[in-house]
């Protein structure tokens, strides 16, 4: 089984949505892939309350997807997480490349970087729609 690791800052909203969406579709397509997600700087996001963003949960529910990891709290990315993944995607280059450079410099040029804005920069409906499109494209690539 191959693994894709989705990274965002807090492992609360974007990366969790991507993980759940990817796993749902990969399972239904019988792909030999699974997703995990982690955050690069959990300490910076004290306002995240609970295990997963309600925006992510609502968007998944609209797609008739039950979030299997809805009770798991955000997890900080480690070097082992990066090393154990076959593919690593940071969901917003401008935000996450500096964190990768600061914390995992040897990984900076080994990641795929997307451009999915956080809540402060884009409405969740817009950001998650774009993220869903990117995840579907990735699923095609993995299939």
Instruction: Read off the pLDDT band of 1 (50, 70, 90).
Output: very high
pLDDT at position 46? 64
Tokens read off for 45: 């996001």
Residue 35: φ, ψ to 5°: -110, 150
Residue 111, SS3 per DSSP: coil
Q: What is the pLDDT of residues 78-116, one digit of tens each?
A: 999 999 999 999 999 999 999 999 999 999 999 999 999
Q: Is the dihedral of CA 132, 80, 70, 74 positive or negative?
A: negative
Q: What's domain 2-142's superfamily in CATH?
A: Response regulator (3.40.50.2300)
Q: What is the pLDDT of residues 30-74, one digit of tens each?
A: 999 999 999 999 988 767 778 999 999 999 999 999 999 999 999
Q: What is the pLDDT of residues 111-125, one digit of tens each?
A: 999 999 999 899 999
Q: Is the pLDDT of residue 6 over 90?
A: yes
Q: Is the dihedral of CA 105, 108, 109, 111 positive or negative?
A: positive
Q: Which DSSP string corresponds to 4-24?
A: EEEEESSSSSHHHHHHHHHHH
Q: Is the pLDDT of residue 28 over 90?
A: yes
Q: Where in the chain are the domains?
A: 2-142
How crowded is residue 57: how many other Cβ atoms within 10 Å of its Cβ?
19
Confidence (pTM): 0.96
């Amino acid at each position: 089984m191959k693994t894709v690791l989705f990274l965002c800052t807090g492992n609360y909203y974007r990366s969790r949505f991507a993980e759940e969406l990817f796993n749902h579709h990969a399972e239904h397509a019988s792909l030999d892939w699974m997703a995990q997600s982690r955050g690069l700087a959990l300490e910076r996001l004290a306002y995240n309350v609970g295990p997963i963003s309600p925006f992510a949960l609502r968007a998944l529910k609209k797609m008739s997807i039950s979030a299997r990891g809805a009770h798991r709290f955000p997890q900080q990315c480690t070097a082992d997480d990066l090393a154990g993944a076959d593919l690593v995607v940071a969901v917003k280059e401008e935000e996450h490349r500096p964190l990768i450079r600061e914390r995992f410099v040897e990984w900076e040029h080994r990641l795929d970087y997307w451009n999915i804005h956080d809540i402060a920069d884009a409405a969740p409906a817009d950001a998650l729609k774009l993220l869903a499109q990117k995840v579907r494209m990735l699923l095609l690539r993995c299939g």
